[in-house]
């Protein structure tokens, strides 16, 4: 085990929610697993006191526009989907590291930013079912 | 993982466009040079084209390189020449390079266009009576890596 590069990160998605495949030409993803905390501070407490509520799973993916099959169109199709797909986020897809990932059902939004530089795409996702971390 | 692509294909293609143009050859007969001119026909070059790589950026994607973005300096350099000639050279650069296409065997060509003009006069360091005319532009070349 070691600290590894994100160069071989992966974002995989399957609209049918069974076997996710890598979306090409992406170069960033971010996920947030925040549990809401309810303020239960009472008279006499010397500091604020919280209890955990429900965990929220959401995040972003980003990269470059690519018209090839298996690239940006997956994001935009997902943005139109009425049912959630299976999203899998891999920090490092190198041999021996693929087993470490987060995955779960998600809805996605998609954005494109086109300037004179390479057009960039991005998307936000939010959980549509339970998410797990492997292993 | 992708196989390495020879990035020199980009400058090779750009130089080929300039070197093979007969109009440019007549305006700048002392050749097309990378960074610094050498001798032309045993004499110091006096009317020539200089090409240089100003900036380059790889656009990384997961697993490799997704695209590349180049800016090249392309200018005519002329000794005590008429501004008519340097103007003609700059005009020819634009005809050859602005919104034109480069043939690249291993890349997907994206775009080529001028980003800014260059025009200035330089006085010779040893002889102030000698004036060098510089004229051309910064040309941007954008290419993609096939997926």
Q: How many domains does chain B have?
A: 1
B63 CB neighbours in chain A (<8 A) are 7-8, 10, 93
Q: State ipTM.
A: 0.81
pLDDT tens-digit series, residues A52-70: 999 999 999 999 999 999 9
Q: Is A9 an 8 Å CB contact of chain B?
A: yes
The residue of B1, B62, B146 whose CB has the most chain A CBs within 10 angstroms, and thus the best one to mutate to test that interface, is B62
Give yes or no for a contact between A29 and A89, defined as CB atoms under 8 angstroms apart.
yes
Give residue B76's domain range. 8-144
Give yes or no for a contact between A27 and A42, defined as CB atoms under 8 angstroms apart.
no
How far apart, in Å, are the Cα atoms of A113 and each of A62, B19, B33, B77? 11, 37, 38, 39
Q: Which residue is associated with the tokens 């992406």?
A: A26
How many percent of chain A have pLDDT more than 90?
90
Residue A2 banded pLDDT, cuts 50, 70, 90: confident
Q: Is A5 left (phi over 0), alpha (psi -120 to 50) or beta?
A: beta
Among candidates B123, B94, B122, B97, which has minimal Cα distance to B111?
Answer: B97
Residue B45 belongs to some domain of the structure:
yes
Residue B68 belongs to some domain of the structure:
yes
Give yes or no for a contact between B28 and B89, defined as CB atoms under 8 angstroms apart.
yes
**Contact criterion met (CB < 8 Å) for B69 and A10:** no
Q: Given A26, A116, A117, which is nearest B61 (Cβ)?
A: A26
Has residue A95 got a pLDDT over 90?
A: no
Residue B131 belongs to some domain of the structure:
yes
Distance from the Cα of A5 to chain B's closest Cα (Å) equals: 10
B143 CB neighbours in chain A (<8 A) are none
CB atoms within 10 A of CB B112: 23
Q: Is A65 an 8 Å CB contact of chain B?
A: no
Distance from the Cα of A74 to chain B's closest Cα (Å) equals: 15
Residue B87 belongs to some domain of the structure:
yes
Strands (E) across B62-93 are located at: 64-79
pLDDT score recorded for residue B55: 97
Phi/psi for B13 (5° steps) reads: -65, -40
Residue B34 belongs to some domain of the structure:
yes
**Contact criterion met (CB < 8 Å) for B60 and A117:** no
Which chain B residue's Cα is nearest to A29?
B62
Has residue A9 got a pLDDT over 60?
A: yes
- Interhelix angle B8-19/B83-97, rounded to 10 degrees, is 130
Residue B2 belongs to some domain of the structure:
no
Distance from the Cα of B146 to chain A's closest Cα (Å) equals: 9
Cα–Cα distance, B95 to B65 (Å, whole number)? 31
Which chain A residue's Cα is nearest to B65?
A25
A64 CB neighbours in chain B (<8 A) are 59, 61, 66-67
Domain CATH number, residue B120:
3.30.2000.30
**Contact criterion met (CB < 8 Å) for B147 and A11:** no
Has residue A118 got a pLDDT over 70?
A: yes
**Contact criterion met (CB < 8 Å) for B61 and A25:** yes
**Residuewise pLDDT in 10s, chain B (147 residues):** 456 899 999 999 999 999 999 999 999 999 999 999 999 889 999 999 999 999 999 999 998 899 999 999 999 999 987 889 999 999 999 999 999 999 999 999 999 999 999 999 999 888 989 999 999 999 999 999 988
């Amino acid at each position: 085990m070691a600290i590894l590069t994100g160069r071989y990160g992966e974002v995989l998605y399957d609209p049918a929610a069974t076997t996710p495949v890598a979306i090409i030409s992406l170069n960033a993803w971010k996920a947030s697993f925040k549990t809401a905390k309810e303020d239960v501070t009472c008279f006499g407490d010397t500091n604020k006191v919280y209890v955990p509520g429900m965990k929220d799973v959401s995040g972003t993916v980003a990269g470059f526009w690519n018209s090839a099959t298996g690239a940006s169109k997956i994001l935009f199709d997902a943005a139109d989907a009425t049912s959630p797909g299976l999203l899998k986020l891999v920090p490092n897809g190198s041999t021996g590291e693929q087993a470490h990932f987060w995955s779960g059902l998600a809805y996605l939004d998609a954005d494109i930013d086109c300037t004179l530089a390479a057009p960039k795409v991005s998307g936000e996702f939010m959980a549509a079912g339970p998410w797990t971390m492997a292993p | 993982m992708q196989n390495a692509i020879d990035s020199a294909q980009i400058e090779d293609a750009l130089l080929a466009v300039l070197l093979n143009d007969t109009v440019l050859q007549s305006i700048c007969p002392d050749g097309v040079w990378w960074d610094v001119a050498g001798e032309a026909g045993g004499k110091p070059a006096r009317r020539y084209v200089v090409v240089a790589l100003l900036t380059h950026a790889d656009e990384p994607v997961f697993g490799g390189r997704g695209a590349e973005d180049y800016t090249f300096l392309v200018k005519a350099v002329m000794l005590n020449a008429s501004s008519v000639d340097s103007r003609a050279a700059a005009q020819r650069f634009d005809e050859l390079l602005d919104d034109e296409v480069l043939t690249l065997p291993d890349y997907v060509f994206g775009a080529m266009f001028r980003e800014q003009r260059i025009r200035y006069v330089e006085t010779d360091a040893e002889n102030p009576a000698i004036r060098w005319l510089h004229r051309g532009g910064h040309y941007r070349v954008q290419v993609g890596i096939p997926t």
